Amino acid sequence: MRGAVMHAPGDVRVEDRPDPKIIAPTDAIIRLPATCVCGSDLWPYRGVEAVEGPSPMGHEYVGIVEEVGGAVRTIRPGQFVIGSFFASDNTCEICRAGYQSSCVHREPVGALGAQAELLRVPLADGTLVATPDLPSDDLVPSLLAASDVLGTGWFGAAAAQAGPGKTVAVVGDGAVGLLAVLAARQFGAERIIAMSRHEPRQKLALEFGATDIVTERGDEGVARIKDLTGGLGAHSVIEAVGTQESMTQAIRSTRPGGHVGYVGVAHGVELAGQELFFSHVHLHGGPAPVRQYLPELIDLIWDRRIDPGKVFDLELPLERAAEAYTAMDERRAIKVLLRP
Amino acid sequence: MRGAVMHAPGDVRVEDRPDPKIIAPTDAIIRLPATCVCGSDLWPYRGVEAVEGPSPMGHEYVGIVEEVGGAVRTIRPGQFVIGSFFASDNTCEICRAGYQSSCVHREPVGALGAQAELLRVPLADGTLVATPDLPSDDLVPSLLAASDVLGTGWFGAAAAQAGPGKTVAVVGDGAVGLLAVLAARQFGAERIIAMSRHEPRQKLALEFGATDIVTERGDEGVARIKDLTGGLGAHSVIEAVGTQESMTQAIRSTRPGGHVGYVGVAHGVELAGQELFFSHVHLHGGPAPVRQYLPELIDLIWDRRIDPGKVFDLELPLERAAEAYTAMDERRAIKVLLRP
């Protein structure tokens, strides 16, 4: 099969890779009608994370089940399924508490390379959720968004306790930040402030439910949030970048007793204990337990009540994956959908 | 009047200080039957915090109201009252959300020096809570404990979401840590693990409701907590020290999705963002909003359902405050009560 492989920072190639086979009896093999590039794929692409030899890329996936291992009980060939970037058994105590991305048996799917025609998914019964039927083509981008960026924005909004009566601010205007706006709207937040200086992203934020746009960053961005909230700060702030600047901005934009939900994978972030102590905020985040939310997200998409697939503003054949990385790296595209 | 003043690290003297006067019409003056030394007073005593010239000491207080300013409406002379280390209006949006220690009009009481015969309390109506009647002498130590160490342990247990069915671990065996054990018991925690290597403190922890004692620290302490919790970590961990080691120990002892409540005033703590991200814990803490809890704590003490005053294992006249600091610094006493 064909699949995207990163050889070094800035060097992504689509090449022949061996077709995946069932290895464990709990595996499933799925065929992907669409896959995509994630903001987090840009960390190694930009050399911020090391690339340890040629690495198959991609951890977001939807697909039709081709084959299942002998121990798979609920997932069947022919189903259209969605899973998340960590395979999980969905039965351990951590999964049952809603933290499937820290499942005691979790396996990173990213290492298997979902930017490809086929994918092996471990722990299929625990990881995959089937749609009610085969989806129409126009639903596929939204279902693919649920695999990571929507589920991650959703977790950010949940961790920040977005809800009725709350003012929510979102730091980061990538796909996750934009979908955190959508999630906050679904959670019933009263006011949603998107922090963005990019006009097409501002527009999408407003479409997803933002009520205010703040273009300032850093201390000036914090000051604007305070201005908009009677000097107190937002009740809920979602951090969707993962840098020192964005975390600091998120914490300082939150009122005492408020909640920061942080879902940008932290890179080089150090939090000063004393500032955090006196900030009085709640801090929660990490790799989103997307599996927890998939049934609900699939329902919302299936009923066309949300359209998270709008974050895909560029579509390319898988063969042109390198262009997809470049477009996202240069912020010419929010998120690129790849067609194998 | 007489009061304790810190002149430099290790140098505490009881001297004549001017009697406090009403300055703002919202002030009250109270006469203290007892006061005490806090673990946090040891930070400047040990030179970890700077001492900027002679500083009146003490921020824990109970007392009988002697005089109130013209704008005080609910507090009256003759009442026995308790307040917290931050004076608060108890009416602003932050106070109403339960974060009185971040009140928009907060004033630190510590700067006024509660290790003394008399104390001026700002924002008396918002800050002070009166007991139902004058307390009998034996209740005074427990009421004094409510002013900070009990309220702080209580907040730690609340922030860590201690409750029924939960395993709670407490890092730190000072008065706050011991009273966090008491709080976790009151919150109905199933199992309470006190981390302590000091026999008298272990004994008090068990009296307050600890079910297990762990003597190991650092990585070994974390490993012991994991052993006791099926490899997962505790649901709730209360951090009551404020050092890099104790914060790290607390975060690593908590299971994914669990809660860390941190109430030790952070000194030199830096949290690595990536470790925190993948730990998947909830983090909340800061200066305890003791005012929120005072009515409930007073009720529990008044009805003799809790006896937090047991943390005072040494009593001295105020004139011997220097000895009190030494005894606590050398960990010969858990907490010293001073009689003006």
- Most B CBs within 10 A among A276, A279, A292, hence the mutation to make, goes to A276
User: B260 with B235: CB under 8 angstroms?
Assistant: no
Inter-chain contact A273–B270, Cβ cutoff 8 Å?
Answer: yes
pLDDT in the model for residue A210: 98
Inter-chain contact B262–A277, Cβ cutoff 8 Å?
Answer: yes
What's the whole-number average pLDDT of chain A?
A: 97
Phi, psi of A140 (to 5 degrees): -60, -45
State the number of CA atoms in the 13 A half-sphere of B197 facing the CB.
5
In the numeric block, the tokens 């002998």 are attached to A70
Summarised one tens digit per residue, pLDDT across range B108-136 is: 998 999 999 999 999 999 999 999 999 99
For residues A51, A57, A60, A62, the Cα torsion angle rounded to the nearest 10 degrees is: -160
pLDDT in the model for residue A314: 97
> Residue A256: which of B102, B255, B267 has the nearest Cβ?
B102
Enumerate the β-bridge partners of residue A270. B272
- What end-to-end distance do the CA atoms of chain B give, in Å? 10
Q: Would you call B278 an interface residue with chain A, using a CB distance cutoff of 8 Å?
A: yes
In angstroms, the separation between the Cα of residue A100 and the nearest Cα of chain B is 10
- pTM for the model stands at 0.97
pLDDT in the model for residue A80: 98
Inter-chain contact B287–A266, Cβ cutoff 8 Å?
Answer: no
pLDDT in the model for residue B276: 97
Q: How far, CA to CA in Å, does A162 sit from each of A165, A167, B102?
A: 9, 8, 21
Inter-chain contact A266–B286, Cβ cutoff 8 Å?
Answer: no
Q: Would you call A277 an interface residue with chain B, using a CB distance cutoff of 8 Å?
A: yes
pLDDT bucket at A191, cuts 50 / 70 / 90: very high
Q: Is B300 helix (H, G, I), strand (E, B) or coil?
A: helix
Q: Would you call A285 an interface residue with chain B, using a CB distance cutoff of 8 Å?
A: yes
In angstroms, the separation between the Cα of residue A26 and the nearest Cα of chain B is 24
Inter-chain contact B101–A257, Cβ cutoff 8 Å?
Answer: no
pLDDT in the model for residue A21: 98
> Residue B271: which of A255, A273, A284 has the nearest Cβ?
A273
What is the number of CB-based contacts under 8 A between chain A and chain B? 111
Inter-chain contact B265–A284, Cβ cutoff 8 Å?
Answer: no
Summarised one tens digit per residue, pLDDT across range A312-326 is: 999 999 999 999 999
ipTM of the modeled complex:
0.96
pLDDT bucket at A225, cuts 50 / 70 / 90: very high
pLDDT in the model for residue B189: 98
- Most B CBs within 10 A among A85, A277, A278, hence the mutation to make, goes to A277
**Percent over 90 (pLDDT), chain A:** 99
Contacts of B48 in chain A (CB under 8 A): none
Q: Would you call A271 an interface residue with chain B, using a CB distance cutoff of 8 Å?
A: yes
User: A269 with A247: CB under 8 angstroms?
Assistant: yes
Enumerate the β-bridge partners of residue A14. A4
Cβ neighbours of residue A144 under 8 Å, at least 6 residues apart?
Answer: A34, A35, A36, A60, A61, A62, A82, A309, A312, A337
pLDDT in the model for residue B55: 96
- In our burial notation (b when 16+ CB lie closer than 10 A, e otherwise), range B93-128 reads bbbebbbbbbbbbbbebbebbbbbbbbbbbbbbbbb
Contacts of A104 in chain B (CB under 8 A): 231-232
> Residue A256: which of B99, B266, B283 has the nearest Cβ?
B99
How many Å apart are CA B33 and CA B117, to the nearest integer? 8
Residue of B nearest to A234 (CA): B94
pLDDT tens over chain B, length 340 residues:
999 999 999 999 999 999 999 999 999 999 999 999 999 999 999 999 999 899 999 999 999 999 999 999 999 999 999 999 999 999 999 999 999 999 999 999 989 999 999 999 999 999 999 999 999 999 999 999 999 999 999 999 999 999 999 999 999 999 999 999 999 999 999 999 999 999 999 999 999 999 999 999 999 999 999 999 999 999 999 999 999 999 999 999 999 999 999 999 989 999 999 999 999 999 999 999 999 999 999 999 999 999 999 999 999 999 999 999 999 999 999 999 999 9
Contacts of B271 in chain A (CB under 8 A): 270-271, 273, 276
> Residue A272: which of B265, B270, B282 has the nearest Cβ?
B270
Residue of B nearest to A257 (CA): B99
CB count, 10 Å around CB of B231? 10
Chain A residues 202-231 within an 8 A CB cutoff of chain B: 230-231
Among B91, B115, B121, residue whose Cα is nearest residue B15: B115
Inter-chain contact A283–B282, Cβ cutoff 8 Å?
Answer: yes
In angstroms, the separation between the Cα of residue B291 and the nearest Cα of chain A is 14
pLDDT bucket at A61, cuts 50 / 70 / 90: very high
Q: Would you call A232 an interface residue with chain B, using a CB distance cutoff of 8 Å?
A: yes
